[in-house]
Chain A
Amino acid sequence: MATSLKQYKAIGDELWKTRTEKISAELFTLTYGALVVQLIQDYEDYAEVNKQLEKMGYNIGTRLIEDFLARSNMGRCSDFREVGEVVSKVGFKAFLNIVPTVTHAAVPATAQTSSATPTAPSFVLTFDENPLADFVELPEDALEGGLWFSNVLCGVLRGALEMVQMQVEAVFLSDVLRGDESTEIKVKLVRYLEEEVPVGDD
């Protein structure tokens, strides 16, 4: 079913307004900040912290997708392009009340199933606001150590999409906390997972 972009936006808005329980944004931000700082103190290695954040995100994502599908009643996405649209307009909107901009990577129009394409389809999410990183200023050694503060988001994307039969790689390209111009995550499709029984498919 070809749901138009406007409809995705409307679905996302409606989900956020009616079917999401809200908590204080500052509590959320402070909790996440405390979590990252504690991880840094425990591991003392920024690459390891990035990895742990991603792992935590993965665990969150595998559970989050169930919640998302139950509330939104969305059907299967027809192609990876649609995945990008749904993730940004419905997914992020419903959980964080932000709508990152999606930029799709140029893919040959004929090859929509990833296993055939030489270039894997991907999209880039550009965030103009990030509730996880409100008020945060990275100290010097975090900047040098290569910390991606919101790396949990990459894990969430990977975990959630894996539960719907897509193996993806999600990485940060840039982060305003590091002094870059914008915060961007690139999500690249590795392959479709064919073996498992699709989740929520009746």
Chain B
Amino acid sequence: MSHHLFLLSPTDTPLYTLTHQSTRPTASNTLPISSNLPAWSTSAFAGTVAALSGAASLSSTSDRAFGGVPGGAGSEGAGSVRGGGQDRHVIQMIANASLDAVEETMRMNGAMYLKAVDKFNEWTVSAFVTAGNMKFILLHESKNDEGIRSFFMDVWELYLKTIMNPFHTAHTPIRSSVFDVRVRMSAKKYL
């Protein structure tokens, strides 16, 4: 079960991305939509991809199906792309699409941790907005509010320490390996 984290600047440029595989046993929550899918679609991505493209076979068609996705989704993840091939595009598209929902929730809710702002098949999008309008987007499958809140707070503190570094230019991709290691440790701890 994986989680995808995106740190976005106020101009929606991704400054940091992370894919984390959770080692925790997850309570399998079968969603109504996935139970309607044909038996051959077993992976989580397959459910999403099949529902979107409506194609019988996965790998080749999903590439073509998403060729038309707005360029923004494909060019995201300019930082460090981890994880599998074409599934990446799906994830990025989901994250991109959720931004509207995030901004709407931001307007209504003044808190920093906006819980689940968007849902896409089996993927829930949680968001965290900082005072400087940085958005932390987390895609996850299971429900884990408290853990995700702690994770976001941790990432926030690590982010603050990184931007306090005089050698770091604001709103540029975060390449610090110290930050990367610590975010991964925090993900392991809370997710």
B164 with A134: CB separation less than 8 A: yes
* Inter-chain contacts of A134 with B (CB < 8 A): 164
B167's partner among A26, A29, A136 (CB-CB below 8 A) is: A136
What DSSP secondary structure best describes chain B's contact surface?
Answer: loop
Structural contact, A30 and B164, CB atoms closer than 8 A? yes
Q: Which of B73-114 contact A (CB under 8 A)?
A: none
Q: In the complex, which range does the number of interface residues on chain B fall in?
A: under 10
A137-B176, A137-B178 known; A36+B166 contact, CB < 8 A: yes
Q: Which residues of chain A come closer than 8 Å to B164, judged between CB atoms?
A: 26, 29-30, 134-135
Q: Which residues of A contact B178 (CB under 8 A)?
A: 137
Q: Tell me whether B166 and A139 are in contact (CB under 8 A).
A: no
Q: Which of A29, A34, A137, A138 is packed against the most chain B CB atoms within 10 Å?
A: A137
With contact pairs A135-B161, A137-B176, A137-B178 given, residues A30 and B166 touching in the complex (Cβ less than 8 Å):
yes
- Interface residue tally for chain A (C-beta within 8 Å): 14
In the bound complex, what is the Cα–Cα distance between A3 and B33 (angstroms)?
82
Which secondary structure dominates chain A's binding surface?
Answer: helix
Chain B residues whose C-beta falls within 8 Å of the C-beta of A135 in the assembled complex: 161, 164-165
> Least Cβ distance of B188 to chain A in Å?
22
A-B pairs under 8 A by CB, number:
26
B165 — which chain A residues lie within 8 A by C-beta? 33, 135-137
Q: Are B166 and A142 in contact (CB under 8 A)?
A: no
* Residues in A whose Cβ lies below 8 Å from that of B168: 137
The answer, yes or no, to whether A111 is at the interface (CB within 8 Å) is: no
> Measured between alpha carbons, how far is A36 from B166 in the docked complex, in Å?
8
**Residues 86-103 of chain A: 1 if any B CB is under 8 Å from the residue's CB, otherwise 0?**
000000000000000000
Contacts of A139 in B (CB 8 A): 167
Contacts of A34 in B (CB 8 A): 166
A34 to B167 Cα, complex, angstroms: 8
Contact A138 B166 (CB under 8 A): no
Interface residues of B in 110-160 (CB under 8 A from A): none
Task: Report B-chain residues with C-beta under 8 Å of the C-beta of A142.
Answer: 167
Q: Is A173 an interface residue (CB 8 A)?
A: no
Interface residues of B in 158-182 (CB under 8 A from A): 161, 164-168, 176, 178
Chain A residues contacting B167 (CB-CB under 8 Å) are 33, 37, 136-139, 142
Q: How far is the CB of A192 from chain B (nearest CB, A)?
A: 38
Interface residue ranges, B against A (CB under 8 Å): 161, 164-168, 176, 178
Known: A37-B166, A37-B167, A135-B164. 11 other contacts (CB 8 A): A29-B164, A30-B164, A30-B166, A33-B166, A36-B166, A134-B164, A135-B161, A137-B165, A137-B167, A137-B178, A139-B167
Q: List, sorted by A's number, 16 A–B pairs whose CB atoms are closer than 8 Å.
A: A26-B164, A29-B164, A33-B166, A34-B166, A37-B166, A134-B164, A135-B161, A135-B165, A136-B166, A136-B167, A137-B165, A137-B167, A137-B168, A137-B176, A139-B167, A142-B167
